[in-house]
Chain A
């Protein structure tokens, strides 16, 4: 009886198994790289907006505090996007004929909201709360980066869960004095290890709960 498989088949079969493993590994590597890339995470990609509002101009150039517009950041889960009247507080007088601000004036006159493209969008199963982070000494720039250097806003962090957990496991590495929370240019001091540990105690950060599922998920 003739052989069903030619001896060369052995080489081919081994090669195809090897090739399959390599293809699988390559797919995994490519998928992982894509998953971490800015194409997927949106990190460092400025988002276009109908009104090209520049935080750089308003914060670094004019010295306006975050809370002038984001009024609820200290007392609510939501930092707050300003109503058009906040823009018009100044722009009823300054740059009040600028074409760039035409959508703002239209919104004000017709009482219809401006539309902003969301830059920081957490999954809907995450219940993030701004106010508790502010109250416990986590600075704006820790998560949002130096927004005062951004003409259009981009993300500087992925907001992935492992990134959240880095800090929830070691809050002493990021915590800062409460009076520095809104300081965009804050740099941790050389003795951050000692300062962080003492601030965690002083602000009564309950470190043993910070990695509980229910802290962020309901």
Chain B
């Protein structure tokens, strides 16, 4: 949980109109005139429009006992959204068993999305190639297993989605950071990473074989 303190109240600068001379009435009148003009000009400056009596996201609040403007959800609250991605798409499992197969077609677009999301959320630990040597691991986080093992290649793809959603071992759940369909996109990309080390030159289509030369 987070709160932002919104204390950047742009306090207005009082314009100092102190003056020394003004022995003559006219000098004093001029100074008074300037002071009046300044007063009129700065009278328009107040901050109640800048800092309105409303809450922005994650704002602090003096009203609620917990100090937060964002209120916790009441027990039993139902999310008001499309629920079509609940179930297997969110969890990767049917009746508690990880499914082996994608619930929607894996296109190149999905793979690219998976690559982008993988590099954002997974690569800090798992590494960009899936070898489990990401930057956090190099700085002391316990090393996760490489994806390039027979045991992880054999796991059903739903297992990956389940781990993303619910965490595994020291890995925290990513359900609040990775949307249900993105979990499958990431799983597809991990399959592609795994395939990249199982593919021989002979498996490639001729056009790509040409690129390697």
Interface, chain A (partner B; CB < 8 A): 9, 12-13, 16-17, 19-20, 23-24, 27, 31, 34, 40, 42, 62-65, 67-68, 71, 78, 81-86, 88-90, 92-95, 107, 111-118, 121, 123-125
Asked if A24 and B5 make an inter-chain contact with CB atoms under 8 angstroms apart, the answer reads no
Q: Which B residues between 19 and 61 are near A, CB-CB below 8 angstroms? A: 19, 21, 24, 26-27, 30-31, 33-34, 37-38, 49-52, 54, 56-58, 60
Q: Which residue of A lies closest to B51 (CB)?
A: A124
Contacts A113-B68, A114-B2, A118-B8; is A16 near B124 (CB within 8 Å)?
no
Give the contact stretch, choosing among B137-145, B157-165, B198-206: B137-145
Q: State A27–B16 Cα separation when bound (angstroms).
A: 9
Cross-chain contact of A16 among B10, B30, B67, B172 (Cβ < 8 A): B30
CB distance from B33 to the nearest CB of A (A): 7
| Interface check B97, CB cutoff 8 A | no
Select which of A17, A67, A78, A123 is within 8 A of B49 by beta carbon. A123
Select one of A62, A67, A115 contacting B136, CB under 8 A: A62
Whether the pair B170, A93 counts as a contact (CB closer than 8 A) is yes
Assess the B26–A16 pair: CB atoms within 8 A: yes
Contacting pair A68 B6 (CB below 8 A): no
Are B172 and A89 in contact, CB atoms less than 8 angstroms apart? yes
Residues on A with beta carbons closer than 8 Å to the beta carbon of B8: 42, 118, 121
Q: Does chain A have a CB within 8 A of B168? A: no
Could you say which residues of chain B place their CB within 8 Å of the CB of A62?
Answer: 124, 135-136, 139
B15 near A116: Cβ-Cβ < 8 Å: no
Cβ–Cβ contact B24 & A63, under 8 A: no
Known: A67-B120, A78-B57. A115 touches B3 (CB 8 A): yes
* B141 lies within 8 A of A31 (CB): no
Interface assignment of B177: CB less than 8 Å from any CB of chain A: yes
Give chain B's interface secondary structure class.
Answer: loop
> Within the complex, what minimum Cβ distance (angstroms) separates B137 from chain A?
9
> Hey, which chain A residues are within 8 Å of B6, CB to CB?
118, 121
Residues of B within 8 A of A116 (CB): 2-5
Cβ contacts B130-157/A at 8 Å (1 or 0 each): 0000011001111000000000000000
Give bound CA distance, A17 to B58, whole Å. 54
Q: Separation in Å of the B155 CB from the closest CB of chain A?
A: 22
For residues 113 through 131 of chain B, which have their beta carbon under 8 Å from a beta carbon of chain A? 119-121, 123-124
A93 and B49: CB pair below 8 A? no
Chain B residues closer than 8 Å to A107, beta-carbon distance: 1
Tell which of B140, B141, B172 touches A88, judged by Cβ atoms closer than 8 Å. B172
- Contact flag A115-B60 (CB < 8 Å), given A31-B13, A107-B1: yes
Q: Given the complex of chains A and B, what is the CA–CA distance between A152 and B33 in angstroms?
A: 46
**A13/B124 in contact, CB under 8 A:** no
A83 to B2, CA, bound (A): 6
Q: Given contacts A63-B124, A64-B124, A124-B50, is CB(A90)–CB(B136) below 8 Å?
A: yes
What 4 A-B pairs are tightest by C-beta distance, nearest first? A113-B1, A20-B30, A124-B52, A16-B27
Instruction: Check A23–B66 contact: CB distance below 8 A.
Output: no
Minimum Cβ distance to chain B for residue A215 (Å): 18
Residues in chain B near residue A19, CB distance under 8 A: 21, 27, 30
